[in-house]
Every structure is written in structure tokens, then in C-alpha cells.
Chain A
Amino acid sequence: MASNPQLNRHGELHHLLSIDGLPRPIVERILTTADSFINIAEREVKNVPLLRGKSVFNLFFENSTRTRTTFEIAARRLSADVFNLDITRSSTAKGESLLDTIDNLTAMQADMFVVRHATSGAPYLIARHASESAPHVHVINAGDGRHAHPTQGLLDMYTIRHYKKDFSNLTVAIVGDILHSRVARSDIHALTTLGVPDVRAVGPLTLLPAGLEQMGVRVFTKLDEGIRGADVIIMLRLQNERMRGALLPSAQEYFAHYGLTPERLAHAKPGAIVMHPGPMNRGVEIDSRVADGSAAVILPQVTFGIAVRMAVMSIVASSARMQ
């Protein structure tokens, strides 16, 4: 069994499943390649012929119209044929039926699967299965359970590099529900891989997972302290169901302690940027004056996300077959 299921025997990126364990040169290559896709959107023809004739299947076992759309745009801009399958299933879906679905789609000449699944590890299962039954097929993780959302992590890195140029002197604070956030996990792995010296997790104790320090992260439970001197603040979406689970008293109280207001933002370094993976809960984790203010780079994140996903797709598609 290969030590890293994402890489083929030449060390090339064959699947993108997680940023955890990705060599730094691969992360940097994705960001550099994305640069070349940025201005394509401003041309008369917004497509390049790179993946012409290739079939990309978007397999969303968990709903996310926005993420699916960005993958679809990315694949279409690479001239791939895109097929969207919204297979929202009950949580009792068996592993076997998942692999049956994959076998069927592989029989329809799929070249790439973009997988969103509520269960952590589902894209790994698919990638391992495909590596044996269809070694030419590529798998991209579009978010699995609480585990990883690697393309979001990469587009966050692209955004940070765009505004801050260099990772080597940065303080980056990730604020909110770290416990349930695959975005936070992918961001932490990406930031430490790229050598960011000060990565912070900020949130109430009930929403901070154990083991953050071992990942090289400094933990803060007070927002003002956590963002003091930060160059980058990544706000996470607070999911409503967390209130019901008694992890938090109420949205109002959460906002009182952890909502990012202009007054609080003043604790960060002058010129700090504020990011958010969307969709935002205004008045819960972020004040509208911040979300619409000059520090927010939330819409550029969306634009960069397409170029980064194009880079990921073209890089995995150009790797040699698995096995």
C-alpha cells in the first residue's frame, strides 16, 4: 500500500484527497498554475482545450450547489464534459452501494470524480477502489464529513498569497467552529505546509477539537486576543444545528463573544484581510460592516477558487496512471 494514496509511484498528484501529507512543492505548483488560469476569464473565449474529451462527474452525496457550481465552471473552462449527479442519500447508505455507483460511472467512461460526501473518508474509499479497478480515474475531494476540503484550503492559500505575497512572516487566525470544520482542518494543514509561523485557532472551548497544539496551532478562547496582530482572519460559518446540540447557548450570545465587528477587527494588524468560505451568517459570526468593508476579500476568494480548481484538475489529469 502506498504511503500517500494521493500520489502515484512517480510522486505525482493523481488524486486530491487532503492537504495533509502533500509535499510543499505540489501545493506551490497548484498555486502557481492557478496564476495562469486567472486572466483566462477576461478573454473573449473563457475556455482552454486542456481536458477536451474528458468526462468529469460531480458526485455530490451531500448538497452544495455553490461548491458544485464552482467545480462545474472549472471543468467547463478546461473544456471537459461535465455530468452532475446529485445523489443525496440517507445516512444509512452502505459503502457497497457507493462503490457500485462508482463502478457504473466508470463503465460510462468517467475520467474524473469530484466527490462531496457527509462521511469522512468517502473520497479515500473511492480513490482506493478506482486505483485498482480503473487506474486512469482521478478523484478530487470536494469536502468529506469533518475531515477535509482541500480545494477550499488551496483557494484560501491562493487568496492569502495574492494579498500578502509571502507566507514566511504571517499570523493567521482561524475563528469559529473549528471542531466541525473541514475547512479549518485543510487550512491548518496548508498553512503549516507553506511555513506560516503563527497559526491560531480561536473559538469557544466546546468548538475547539483536542490536539490542535500538536498540529502546530496556538489556541485562543477570546477573540480579541486571538486576532491581535493578525495579518489574516479566516471566519468560519457557524452552523445552526450546533445551537440545538447544546454546544452553544444562542446565536446572539455567540455574536457577542465571537462575532467579528469593526471594533474587534481593530485589534488585528493594519491592512489585515478577512476571509470566509461562505455562505456567511451575517450577525452571527460576522458583522455586515466587516463583511462589506474594505478588509473583506470574500468575493475574490470565490473568483480565485475557480482558477485553483482548474489548476488542481489539470495537474491531476496530467499525472501518469495509478499502479
Chain B
Amino acid sequence: MLELDAETIYRALAARARESFAGAALKLVGVHTGGVWLAERLRRELHIEAPVGILDVSFYRDDFDRSGLKPDVRPSQIAFEVAGSHILLVDDVLNTGRTVRAAMNEIFDYGRPARIDLAVLVDRGGRELPIAATVVGATIEVPADIGVVLTRDDDQRLHLTMEKRSGE
């Protein structure tokens, strides 16, 4: 259906991140899958040495009782020392805030960070928890039954598409 220009939105996000975190000793953690793509690009752009941490928050979701475990869980991996570090958590779409809550809970199981900031490509509203992003690429208004999905093509270009949510 409708397509947003993900590359333009990403450049806005990267510019804001450079400005907001100038001089900070950041370490990046991306949420599977879109958040990891974004974090990898931000890592190059912000000249961060530490490898990007990867989170699959499936084991921390609060809807396990209702939705079960998704079939394609991937290993989480944070190769740097979390305790005492300043983490920029990166995700593609911020909606209810439940994924961010799950991701923060998982990060704390690796150690106690000094600080966590949040960067998202798009904030589509619809929060169900008191969570806000530190830097946002674009804020959009989308009806609740429309899903916003980030994909990446073979040339590593990002695409944001909106489509009717199936099922629930």
C-alpha cells in the first residue's frame, strides 16, 4: 500500500542522533530485525567501536500467555559489558511500548547499564506504557488496524510499508 521514504527518515534519525549524543560513549543494541539493521548503520555513522548488541525479546514479551512463542526466535547476543555503559536502544517502529519494556528488562539481565536512550525510525503513537523515544526519525499517525513494516532490499536500502494487519 502506501510507502514512506525510509531512507530520508533514516537520515533525519541519524542527524538527530549525532547531535543528541555528541561526545557520548555510546553502545548500540538493536531489536530484531529492523532495529538491528538501523543500529548497524548508526554504528558506522557514529563511529562506535563496540559491536551492535542484538536482542530478540521473545522470552520477555508480556503476551506469551495469549500469543505463545513465535516460531522463529533468534539468539540474543550482547558482546560488550552492559554494566555501567550508556546504551542506545534502537528499534524500527515505536507503538505500544511493550517491546521496549521487554528489551529493557532483557538488557538488565546482562548487567546494570548507566543509562539507556531510545532511538526509533518512526513513532506511530498508540502507547500503552509510559515510554518515550529520545530520538525519532519521523512521527506518523496511522490507524490502529494498519501495520507499519520495515524491510531491507538486496542493496541494503530500507523501505517502510503500511499494510492492513492480519488477524488480531
CB pair B76 A50 closer than 8 Å: no
B interface SS class: loop
Binds B, one of A193-201, A224-232, A311-319: A311-319
Chain B residues with Cβ below 8 Å from A33 are: 69, 73
Binds A, one of B9-17, B55-63, B124-132: B55-63
B23 on interface, CB distance cutoff 8 Å: no
Chain B residues with Cβ below 8 Å from A314 are: 59, 69
CB pair B56 A36 closer than 8 Å: yes
Residue from A32, A50, A315, A320 within 8 A of B59 (CB atoms):
A50
Chain A residues with Cβ below 8 Å from B155 are: none
How far is B74's CA from A38's CA once the two chains are assembled, in angstroms? 11
Chain A residues with Cβ below 8 Å from B51 are: none
CB pair B59 A43 closer than 8 Å: no
CB pair A318 B75 closer than 8 Å: no
How many A-B contacts are there with CB distance less than 8 Å? 51
B139 on interface, CB distance cutoff 8 Å: no
Residue from B64, B82, B110 within 8 A of A318 (CB atoms):
B64
Chain B residues with Cβ below 8 Å from A38 are: 75
Chain A residues with Cβ below 8 Å from B56 are: 36
CB pair A50 B64 closer than 8 Å: yes
How far is B109's CA from A49's CA once the two chains are assembled, in angstroms? 10
B151 on interface, CB distance cutoff 8 Å: no
How far is B105's CA from A320's CA once the two chains are assembled, in angstroms? 26
Indicate with 1 or 0, residue by residue over B61-105, a CB within 8 angstroms of chain A CB atoms: 000100111011111110000110000000000000000000001
Chain A residues with Cβ below 8 Å from B83 are: 44
Chain B residues bordering chain A, tally (CB within 8 A): 23
Within 8 A of B (CB), among A136-172: none
Chain A residues with Cβ below 8 Å from B73 are: 32-33, 36
The size bracket of the interface on A is 20 to 34
Indicate with 1 or 0, residue by residue over A3-27, a CB within 8 angstroms of chain B CB atoms: 0000000001000000000000000
A81 on interface, CB distance cutoff 8 Å: no
Residue from B64, B69, B74, B109 within 8 A of A45 (CB atoms):
B109
How far is B58's CA from A35's CA once the two chains are assembled, in angstroms? 13
Residue from A36, A315, A317 within 8 A of B75 (CB atoms):
A36
How far is B110's CA from A47's CA once the two chains are assembled, in angstroms? 11
Residue from B60, B69, B75, B106 within 8 A of A35 (CB atoms):
B75
CB pair B58 A36 closer than 8 Å: yes
Give A315's nearest chain B residue, CB to CB: B69
Most buried by A among B76, B83, B108: B76
* 24 A-B pairs whose Cβ atoms sit less than 8 Å apart in the complex: A12-B68, A29-B71, A33-B69, A36-B59, A36-B73, A36-B74, A36-B75, A39-B76, A44-B109, A45-B110, A48-B60, A48-B106, A49-B59, A49-B60, A50-B59, A50-B64, A50-B69, A314-B59, A314-B69, A317-B64, A318-B64, A318-B69, A319-B68, A320-B68
